[in-house]
Amino acid sequence: MDYIDYYKILELDKGASIADVKKAYRRLARKYHPDLNPNDKTAKGKFQQINEANEVLSDPEKRKKYDKYGQDWKHAEEFERAGEQRAPYQRSQGRQSRAEDFSENDFSDFFESMFGGAPGGSRRGQSKFRGQDFNAELQLTLADVFKTHKRTLTVNGRNIRLTIPAGVENGQTIKISGHGGAGVNGGPNGDLYITFSVENHSKFKREGDNLHTHVDLDIYTAVLGGEITVDTFDGMVKLQVKPETQNGTKVKLRGKGFPVYKKEGEFGDLYLIYKILVPVNLSAKEKELFRELSKNHKHEN
């Protein structure tokens, strides 16, 4: 556990007044407050540090103890035993961040070692707080999210039956209201945010609701045309190939792509890119026929 320089965090020198501390706290809180920096873990961490520094430096008793023993925090216990009766904690600032953003687990070990745990108190007397929001990640495969399905998750010891809509995207987050941490003083529960990590092990590349894949095509079908059978994400389909199809030709199979999120029965498109295979291990007869074709072709040109 390392010493934390609260003055440095609030960009203050040791002679700063309480008013300076408040001013510095407000300035930095406006910069790093989680409400103003959504999904930014760095800002959230910084805000927690600022809050902690403010807890200490704006409270004369805590600040005195910190100034005296901060660098040598391991001796803080002796300071306690020396007869200082620590008053029950009260926030010196009028308002602090909600429980959701700044739960007691977010205080540093250093703070807890010196001041015996996270501060209590509340924004105004016995205000009710929403519980902490929980974040979870759910690993799924592309096949999992092709169809709407139900799944039971265990989050903080509670089982949650969840419907995962078809078409969920990699990195998408959904909110399950009321399944976060319990509220404080009768406040409502927090919410549970689930981020989907969708892994793709299939031969199909996904781009939004559309799928893309390569299809091998033998040279004879490419030249003469014909019927082939191709894989789509949910089965095989028959397809007519036009004569004289070129390598890299792209065809669209409408409605054979990925389900559109929360639009039951709607699908994106499947794009097939033909990869024409040149025959190998030709027999003498085949080579002869190709030579003939070649001569014929040169002659006609």
Interface residue with other proteins among 89, 212, 223, 269 (CB under 8 A) is 212
Candidate ranges 202-210, 227-235, 250-258, 280-288; the one touching other proteins (CB under 8 A) = 202-210
Please give the helix or strand (H or E) that residue 138 lies within, else none: strand 134-141
Q: Does residue 95 touch other proteins according to CB under 8 A?
A: yes
Closer residue to other proteins, CB minimum distance, 116 or 208:
208
Binding string, residues 12-41; x marks residues near other proteins by CB under 8 A: --------------x--xx--x-xx-xx--
Options 160-168, 205-213, 223-231, 259-267: segment touching other proteins (CB under 8 A): 205-213
Binding mask 99-138 for other proteins (x = CB under 8 A): ------------------------xxx-xx-x--------
Q: How far is the CB of 124 from other proteins (least distance, A)?
A: 4
Radius of gyration of the chain (CA): 33
Write the single-letter amino acid at 294.
S
Task: Judge contact between 183 and 189, C-beta under 8 A.
Answer: yes
74/128 with CB nearer other proteins? 128
Laid out side by side, the sheet with 134-141 consists of: 134-141, 192-199, 173-176
Place of tokens 């706290």: 25
Please count the CA atoms within 13 angstroms of the CA of 73 that sit on its side-chain side: 17
- Give yes or no for a contact between 70 and 62, defined as CB atoms under 8 angstroms apart: no
Alpha-carbon gap, residue 107 to 248, rounded angstroms? 58
Q: Which two tokens stand for residue 103?
A: 């739960």
Phi, psi torsion values for 226, nearest 5 degrees:
155, -175
Applying CB under 8 A, among 169, 209, 218, 231 the residue interacting with other proteins is 169
**Which residues of this protein are in contact with other proteins, per CB under 8 A?**
26, 29-30, 33, 35-36, 38-39, 94-98, 123-125, 127-128, 130, 169-172, 187-188, 191, 205-208, 212
